[in-house]
Amino acid sequence: EAGVAQSPRYKIIEKRQSVAFWCNPISGHATLYWYQQILGQGPKLLIQFQNNGVVDDSQLPKDRFSAERLKGVDSTLKIQPAKLEDSAVYLCASSPLSISLFGNTEAFFGQGTRLTVV
Amino acid sequence: QKEVEQDPGPLSVPEGAIVSLNCTYSNSAFQYFMWYRQYSRKGPELLMYTYSSGNKEDGRFTAQVDKSSKYISLFIRDSQPSDSATYLCATLNSGNTPLVFGKGTRLSVIA
């Protein structure tokens, strides 16, 4: 079974530039998550999709971050404009069901995109 | 107070040692408790999952939850160099809330 695919693996941009990350979840997984993991910290949820609808985006800095999930499959996360503090690994995860509603379901993570803002 | 506290380490042990990793949490509504393992430059992968209080064993790994003291533990027996990774505890309640992760503890098992 193919895992969660993310691209690019690494990205270096200057502050105030824009950047986009792409995620292809495991086939058939209804729930997709974007997490931000700052160095030395645990992952923090940015947004959760159920199919193509947003379930939770309470921690997404909406003035600069946006995300969409087209046709309930692939997803993109965009930052515009980027700040130095956005330097982090952006992890995409998917699960067949929502973990928040069905605690006994596993989220499968991609390898992440490491963003450095200079 | 952060919702989930975890000592980031690093923790270095010799091969074969018993490793104890711990987290505390503040929200008594948390009911699901998970341990994720994250190798360097990889995404986290689920290692153990428990519901409410009690123990759960899987091979060399034992997860323990004490809801009365809000304490979560992961024990690794006969630790191997391949166990070297960052271990993240995570919790959530039964409502529509996201997983809350600890900072992670970086473990090195020295051959």
Test B95 with A100 for CB contact under 8 angstroms: yes
DSSP A51: T
Interchain contact B14–A (C-beta under 8 A): no
Q: Which residues of B touch A103 (CB under 8 A)?
A: 31-32, 49, 51, 92, 94
- Among A109, A111, A113, pick the best mutation site for testing chain B contact (most B Cβ within 10 A): A109
Positions of chain B with pLDDT under 50: none
Per-residue tokens: A82: 């980027």
Question: CA distances (Å), A74 to each of A30, A54, A55, A79, in order?
Answer: 11, 14, 16, 17
pLDDT in the model for residue B39: 96
| Residues recorded for chain A | 118
- Among A56, A100, A108, A113, pick the best mutation site for testing chain B contact (most B Cβ within 10 A): A100
Interchain contact B52–A (C-beta under 8 A): no
pLDDT in the model for residue A79: 98
pLDDT in the model for residue B46: 92
Positions of chain A with pLDDT under 70: 1, 100-104
Per-residue tokens: A96: 């067949």
Partner residue facing B97 (CB), from A40, A100, A108: A100
Distance (Å, whole) CA B54 – CA B72: 10
Distance (Å, whole) CA B41 – CA B44: 10
DSSP output for B40-101: TTS--EEEEEEESSEEEEETTEEEEEETTTTEEEEEESS--GGG-EEEEEEEE-SSS---EE
pLDDT in the model for residue B69: 93
pLDDT in the model for residue A66: 98
Distance (Å, whole) CA B24 – CA B46: 19
